[in-house]
Amino acid sequence: MISRKRSAAAARVLASYGIAALLLWGLERSQLAEAVNLLVYDLITNLRPADSGRPQPIAIIGISEADIRTYGWPIDDSLLCRAIDRLDAAGVRAIGLDLYRDKGVGPQQQCLRDAVRSNPRLVSIFNVAEAIEPIPGTPPTQRAYNDLVIDRDGVVRRDLIHVGGQDDTVVTLPMRLLEVERGNNNLRRRIERGQPPIQWLGPDSGGYYGIDTAGYQQMLPFLQPGSYRQWTLQQLISGQVPAADLRGSTALIGSTAPSLRDLFEVPHTRFRAGAAPMLMPGVEVHANRLVALRNSDREPIWSASIAFTNAIVLVAALLGALVAERSSPMRRGLLLLSLLIAGWMGAAIGLLLQAQIWLELSEPVAALLLFGGTGLLRRGALAQQQRQQIQRLLGQTTSPAVANQLWNQRETLLSDGRFEGRQLPVTVLFSDTRNFTTVSEGLAPADLLNWLNRGMAHCVPAISRHGGMVNKFTGDGFLAVFGAPVGDSPAADAREALRTALEIQQGMEQLNVELGAEGAPTMALRIGMHSGPVLAGSMGSSERLEYAVIGDTVNCASRLESIEKHRHNNLCRVLVSSATRELLLQDASPDERAWCARLLWEDWGSLQVKGRNEPLQIWELRGIAPAAAGATRG
């Protein structure tokens, strides 16, 4: 039976975490997680200081709005030929014409076709995606495609460096320009041979999910936007560009005018506010690609592999569940969970900012939130259920201190909504109302109940204040227990029971003053107190359960309350067994010993209690002497 219950509980736990795993899986398949990752990547890229492009041996000849107003659009081939001649005369190492010229423009189209055949430094672009060809007659070693890899959100972050298994005509523009600069294709061949080994982007690298990573791709590092050396076409043709500024550089000719729409969103432009969005011209994107390719021997932006990311997510899920399940109280678990989330976010952001290491951010955070939140919610629901169970079993008869102890120990005390049976050392306080039958004959039912409740209003708070629990009301009396379901120590519980009896004695005096003033009957109580072991636990059926304490200790307290009823000469008679009295000085502090010395006792001797073979040594607690007097009797 117990095994079946444990199996059911384990199944519920697994089901709750299974739902969390499904939610995490769904988040991974959605574009939301990737969007968050890319947004963080762009923000950190924008915050990280970038080098200037000005020292780079790259010259951008941009076709500006002013050039369009001067020369019109599209630019005549003869003007491009003049620009190429100027660059060639200045001693540039390579020229990348980032303009489509599969169809000539103007009456002198042949000059551009002759230039590409005669000038081995001139590279003509074509576009694979749109099936646009290069300048007619371009030699195979001077052809290059300018296709860019654009993410799902329209931002350029990755660079397609090369596609293997193609002939010599299918080469990226930066790769072709580098080969023209160096006069060899060694880098391309090393990449195809896997020398040196480089970690290329995979479908789930970094913060990506299921992207197309055909070919050899890496994250593209950007220099400061707009920082490259740049001149307009008109400045070049008119001779305003010093040859010394061009010598030894690679020149890129392309459009920079916004009206031509050859503009792209990059990480640096996503957080630039202005009247118009700041976009990067395609020719500048290619300049960044060329710089990255030149520096290919340097450490690239490292992006976590799928295996590494999955390991991090698994650890995050386990940590989230462990913190939620093991931390007590739950607010500590919530704090630890918050610290873990903040720690991971700080680590991921710090590594990208300082070391250009891109780790997946959103899924580990989601794993911590989902698994940690599931554990906390599950424990919260269980705690609410246990709270209801404790309230159902014990009612409102426990003190706040005892209730707090019960709450802290609920995992060990409760089993299947019940208090498991345990033997506990307790002190039992049994009370009854003297002459209740006589009083009830003279009062109406409503008045009688009100009269009894006024007495209980003095007794119950006193019991609660001293850590006791009213286990049950017995018509005109009650049974209170000190030390169950939880207690401090048998001696401490006995002292608190004595303090409770003294407080009830004093309260009865005040109550009877009030009753006398109202003309109501006098109220007198008999209390019996005994210490010893009891069997404590839930008793009853699923329809009705109550917390019960049974055993000889309870019986003895009841017998002490009812013994020799005629010997009652005060408002609250308190009879205490030797078992309780002998506990008072055990483990007592000096102040507690001084308090015990002030107790006023009357020795009743050894009396035979009904239902018990051995007699009990009994004392009556008559009160407590003033602190200054320190008097005792007994």
- Going from N- to C-terminal start, the domains of the chain cover 2-29+306-385, 50-296, 399-624
DSSP annotation of 605 reads: E
What was the pLDDT predicted at 274?
A: 57
Comparing CA positions, the residue from 496, 481, 492 lying closest to residue 424 is 481
For residue 545, pLDDT over 60 is answered with no
pLDDT surpasses 80 at 481: yes
Residue 137 pLDDT:
95
Residue 474 has pLDDT above 90, yes or no: no
> Looking at this protein, which amino acid is placed at residue 559?
R
pLDDT at 542 over 60: no
Q: d(Cα 319, Cα 313) in Å, to the nearest integer? A: 10
Q: Is the per-residue pLDDT at 540 higher than 70?
A: no
pLDDT tens for each residue of 555-604: 999 999 999 998 998 999 999 999 999 999 999 999 999 999 999 999 99
Top pLDDT among 587 and 329 is at 587
What pLDDT shows up at residue 387?
60
Over residues 398-430, the pLDDT tens digits come to 444 444 444 444 454 445 545 566 788 999 999
Main-chain phi, psi angles of 155, to 5 degrees? -110, 140
pLDDT at 270 over 90: no
- Grade residue 130 by pLDDT with cuts at 50, 70 and 90: very high
Which residue spans within 229-346 are E strands per DSSP?
A: 229-232, 250-255, 263-264, 280-281, 302-303
Name the percent of the chain lying above pLDDT 70. Answer: 89
Measured in whole angstroms, the distance separating CA 528 from the mean position of its chain's CA atoms is 54
pLDDT digits (tens, 9 = 90+) for 621-634: 999 998 764 444 44
CATH of domain 399-624: 3.30.70.1230
Contacting residues for 601 by C-beta, under 8 A, at least 6 apart: 581, 619, 620, 621, 622, 632, 633, 634
Q: Would you state the torsion angle of the CA atoms of residues 341, 347, 350, 352, taken in this order, to the nearest 10 degrees?
A: -100
pLDDT at 374 over 80: yes
Q: How far lies 276's CA from each of 222, 270, 272, 273, 279, in Å?
A: 21, 12, 10, 8, 9
| Segment 382-404 mean pLDDT | 52
Average pLDDT score, the chain: 88
Q: What's the whole-number mean pLDDT along residues 343-369?
A: 93
Q: What integer pLDDT is reported at residue 269 of this predicted model? A: 85
pLDDT of 396 reads: 46
